[in-house]
Structure 1
Amino acid sequence: MAQRIYQLDEKDETGYLTVKLELVEGEEVQILFDMPVRLTQAHNMVEETVGQAAVERGPLVYCMEGMDAPVETLDDLMLDLNARFMPVSCEIAGRKTVALEGNGYQINRNQINRNQINRNQYNRDSLYQTMKQPVLEPVSMRLVPYFAWDNRGYDEMRIWIPVAYR
């Protein structure tokens, strides 16, 4: 069957677009929207999210799940403020959806930074310790739509992700 492509111009400022088509039996309609990926920050009074961002694409909020991360804990990942996330098809719980893949940083808390002497190794379980500047190493990141999380087994999840301002 031949493919018909229509370019529709946005004519209604109220947020709705009426589409009237006469379809032949068996025809399908596919509507594609431009949905760039964006990083969203919360108001500064939401102290728990200062220095962090949520990743959104169109109306969807995305999250990281531990099973997609090459680290011990999601606490060791940071977003690259300038990263370009690309949509990729994936299947979660038998349903097709779109994940996002891009680059971020893994925090290597035990590597010696060339600008400081690191006498003590980082201890994840210590309640208090001297703060050290960690080394950031490039890492690939994968995010899934928030609505689809927790469908592949028990693991960590994070929406608000620290941002590396480099």
Structure 2
Amino acid sequence: NQVYVNLFIGGQASLHTTAGNVELTMQTKYPWDGQIELTVLPERTGEISMRLRIPGWARNQVVPSDLYTFVTKAAESVVIRVNGQVIDYNLEDGYVVLTRNWQKGDRISMDIPMPVRLVRAHEAVADDTGKMALQRGPLVYCFEGADQADERVNHALFINQGRPLVDWNEDLLHGVETIRMDGAVATYAPDQTKVINPLTLTAIPYYAWANRERDYMTIWVAENSEVVVPAPSPTLASRSTVTCSAPVRNLQAIQDQYLPENSNDHSNPYLHFWPRFGTEEWLQYDFPETSRISSSRIYWFDDGPEGGCRIPASWHLEYRSGDKWEPLKVIGDYPILKDAWNEVHFQPVTADAIRLILQARKGVSSGIHEWEVSGSE
């Protein structure tokens, strides 16, 4: 004689209970709206306990632990009505229990408030320190570059956290509710001062991302200008076109200017040639304009001893001027160092491209965190 209502989806169900068959009809726009209407149609009048699940997020609980928490508590509580009358209730293991002799046509209404909530991660999650995420109802939101005037969402920050605007967008991703907030994108000027550029941030439900062009995406956004990581100022390498000897992932990782803490740092994107073992590979920068260059440095990726990538056995650089490739005349030797920059200086040349050729060690692959090229006046 107990009926559990766990999910909120419009539809019908026919259930067998000790009081006879019961038909239930649910009408709702959940997860976009917290209004839920449940019509009870028992075969005959009888006592049944209707158990209605109240989601954790509606009880100020993001997950059943302290891994994630809401920044503030919700101002409103869930309201339950039976035939239009508000019901006082206590929760039993997360459920509202309504026990009564149900009659045909009795209506249960659930009003679950859905304010936009800010979420923080536990302080032990170092990558999310000083950042917040957005949640509305059961849906976690994210910021995708396609929805912003400036696509660099990984360098975004919240400006006004108290005025989110929720809009239904029928033509976006087959119909979604978006959240708009005042924000900004931080960048470094050439003199390395931090520049904050105002930007309206638009969030979409996380489930809907990656359905358009390849783009930037983030869930966690900096709380303020003190903790935001600014986008680096453009360099010759970051403005160049990258090509490679093999079809690898994260090709642009070597020019994104995210600096690793060590060769086995997995916190930022990196490029690797695994599972190509012991091979000679090359990477190439085609410059946006002919440039005078005089130095370069590489930070190798090495995930040993567990992983399959190691610093290379050897490497060298070539430059292109017109349609001819020539070796650079390096001052000294090519260093091969783990957990450090491998920097070389060479006689200045005018080039339209530079190529890095590396030889992987026998039985393993190679990889790169970052490759920088510096000019000469």
TM-score (norm 2): 0.32
1:69 lines up with 2:164 in the alignment: no
Pick from 39, 55, 59 the counterpart of residue 134 of structure 2: 55
Rg comparison, structure with higher value = 2
| Residue identity matched to 1:134 | K
Using the TM superposition, give the Cα deviation of residue 98 of structure 1 relative to its aligned residue in structure 2, in angstroms.
1.2
Gaps of 5+ in 1: 24-28, 111-120, 123-131
Per-residue deviation at 1:31?
Answer: 5.9
- Spell out, residue by residue over 1:55-100, the C-alpha distance to the aligned partner (whole angstroms, 9 max, x if none): 1112211100010111142223111253421111024432x22110
Identity %: 28
Change beyond 3 A, Cα 1:10–1:102 = farther
RMSD after superposition: 3.1
Give the Å deviation of 1:50. 0.7
Secondary structure of 2:215's match?
Answer: coil
With over 3 angstroms needed to count, the CA separation of the structure-2 counterparts of 1:8 and 1:158, relative to structure 1, is farther
Q: Distance in 1 between matches of 2:178 and 2:87?
A: 28
Distance, in Å, in 1 between the alignment partners of 2:225 and 2:113 is 27
Partner of 2:105: 22
For 1:123-157, what per-residue CA distance to the aligned partner results, in whole angstroms no more than 9, with x for missing partners? xxxxxxxxx44132321110011111112332111
1:54–1:159 Cα contact (<8 Å) kept: yes
- List gaps (5 residues or longer) in structure 2: 1-82, 227-377
Letter in 1 for 2:119: T
Aligned residue number for residue 123 of structure 2: 44
* Aligned CA distance change for structure 1 residues 155 and 16 (closer, same or farther; 3 Å): same
Distance 2:120 2:218 in 1: 14
Residue 162 (structure 1) aligns with: 222
Deviation at 1:30, TM superposition (A): 8.7
- Contact kept in structure 1, 2:123 and 2:129, CA below 8 Å: yes
Tell me the equivalent position of 2:208. 148
3-state SS of the aligned residue for 1:82? strand
Query: CA contact under 8 A between 1:80 and 1:104: conserved in structure 2?
Result: yes
Q: Which SS does the other structure have where 1:150 is aligned?
A: coil
Look up the match of 1:93: 173
Larger RCO (CA within 8 A; separation ≥ 6): 1
What does 1:110-125 align with in structure 2 at a 5 Å threshold?
110=189, 121=190
Question: Residue 41 of structure 1 aligns to a residue in which SS?
Answer: strand
Q: Select 1:82's aligned residue among 146, 151, 161.
A: 161
Cα displacement string for residues 101-124 of structure 1 (whole angstroms, at most 9, x for unaligned residues): 1111121422xxxxxxxxxx06xx
Classify 1:133/1:33 alpha carbon distance in 2 versus 1 (closer, same or farther; 3 Å).
farther
Query: 1:134 and 2:194 equivalent?
Result: yes
The whole-number CA distance in structure 2 between the counterparts of 1:153 and 1:31 is 39
TM-score (norm 1): 0.68
1:7 CA displacement? 6.2
User: How many positions carry a matched residue from both structures?
Assistant: 139
